[in-house]
Chains A and B, each alone.
Chain A
Amino acid sequence: MGEPVISLRGVRAELGSRPVLRGIDLTVGRGEVVALLGANGSGKSTAIRTVIGQVPVSAGEIELFGVPRRRFNDWRRVGYVPQRTTAAGGVPATITEIVASGRLSRARFGVLRKADHEAVRRAIGLVGLADRAKDSVNALSGGQHQRVLIARALAAEPELLIMDEPMAGVDLASQEVLARTLREQVAAGVTVLLVLHELGPLEPLIDRAVVLRDGCVTHDGPPPQAVGQHALPGHDHVHPHAAHDAEPIRTGLLS
């Protein structure tokens, strides 16, 4: 394992008065791809939201690139993909406009130069939406929305990608594009921490899986092996029961 990019030690967090994280340890080394797995309500979304400072921590230490999170301000090194079903806001916006906001961490005073516009164009190309760059996001499918959100995170050319359920509600074609995009990023040396509901098409990329249960780490090691029919090559992990399991519960308190 390379030098730690993310390091959590004894992190506790509460939402309201309910403890969601009960002292978790997690280290992600440079170039690693780590998946956070667990049932709904296990605290996996909260865990990554503490890393980016969106959820206050009641105890423990968090470091990003070796710097305590409170003092960390080099956000251009981090690309974040929040858990969203849509990239749209209350006003129409094109894919380029939304992805460009991901470049602001590298733009001084919000002025995008030629190189910045090129980086935005590149990021849109990486997720296979180059021909639709000037389209309104309102015209996109759910999977394409997710691709826009990932392009937005990639626009800053980050060293670390943090993704919250990037595969949730994504059609098969978009899943393949996302898996390929991620594979290219990993090959280029990007570190990845992602929350997943199931390993799915990303399985071959994942170095390590951390399983959370009731706010505690119950497994930290190689990804759980798929067995039986799941292990067959070409198995696309679209289970008839997955939709039932995933959908009604995902309205959970953690999102």
Chain B
Amino acid sequence: MDILDYAFMQRALLAAVLVGITAPAIGIYLVQRRQALMGDGIGHVAMTGVGLGFLLNTSPVWMATGVSVVGAVMMELIRWYGKTRGDIALAMLFYGGMAGGVMFINLAPTGSNANLTSYLFGSLSTVSESDVTAICLLAAFVVLVTVGLRRQLFAVSQDEEFARVTGLPVRALNLLTAVTAAVTVTVAMRVVGLLLVSALMVVPVAAAQQLSRSFTATFAIAVAIGVSVTLGGTATSYYQDVPPGATIVLLTIGAFIALTALATPLARRRARAASAAREAGDPAECVIPASREAAGKAGV
């Protein structure tokens, strides 16, 4: 395996695996609460962080983490207090974040749009030692939250109102979800890029749903798909000289299509089994209740 001989490829593969785990792990809760595009919004906001990192000559990864956490918290606050025009406020946040990124990076003495491109579309081979440290720490946080608090996050994402009546700290959990999603975006930023990160949060979950009936199974399958496509995409980009971020996302969509095709006969078989079970229990034909029939005759 000559791919493992190079230190930069070892770092790239490690980062890829961590993204493959974390992105679907938080993405499943976003999909469950029907906020599948939240990751995309955070990705836009994170661009301001990258630009600020260049401008202030600090680590773009940590700066992007800080700014996208602030952005995600703002999105959550808009969702609470937002009246009818919440979507407009979110749009302004997204595009303001993107414009801020372009502006700051051009103001920076060392920055140019070329630097920004490596964050927009990922740049696996330039992942440095310090990037790997940051990615490991952030990924550990994401796994801790998404697995450790899975029951609470499941309840809040399934039915927020009910969760409040069970006494769960719903606001705190919503904020934690937003912060964790923001952290995941910056973990994935170097691997697939800010513009494609949402794909890794959403598409593995959508693909896993084709096969699963339970939340736990969906979670496990989505993470398995995530790890497979990030590893597969990274290896492909090494051997074929194609951009890793785009390869990973196309592989994920390929997995979705393949599983959907596979799931159709599976669903049909399940439906047949279910209807067979039903026929064993219930009469297959319509039956008029005896009392109604009697009443009808009496009336005539």
Contacts and interface: CB of A to CB of B under 8 A. Distances in A.
Given A97-B214, A110-B152, A90 B166 contact: no
Interface string A10-53: 00000000000000000000000000000000000000000011
B213 interface: yes
A254 B287 CA distance: 38
Nearest to B154: A101
A82 B31 contact: no
A82 B33 CA distance: 17
Interface stretch (A133-141, A182-190, A205-213): A133-141
A104 B168 contact: yes
B166 A105 contact: yes
A54 B31 CA distance: 24
Contact of A110 (B149, B158, B161, B291): B149
A93 B158 contact: yes
A78 B214 contact: no
Given A97-B216, A139-B274, A89 B162 contact: no
A94 interface: yes
Given A92-B209, A92-B213, A100-B151, A80 B165 contact: yes
Contact of A90 (B34, B149, B164): B34
A73 interface: yes
Given A91-B205, A101-B166, A135 B213 contact: yes
B214 A89 contact: no
Contacts of A76: 166-167
Interface string B141-168: 0000000011110110111011111111
A235 B103 CA distance: 73
Contact of B214 (A93, A104, A234): A93
Given A75-B166, A78-B165, A101-B159, 9 more contacts: A53-B164, A54-B161, A73-B167, A89-B32, A89-B157, A90-B33, A93-B214, A105-B167, A110-B151
9 contacts: A53-B164, A54-B165, A73-B167, A91-B215, A91-B218, A92-B215, A92-B218, A97-B214, A104-B155
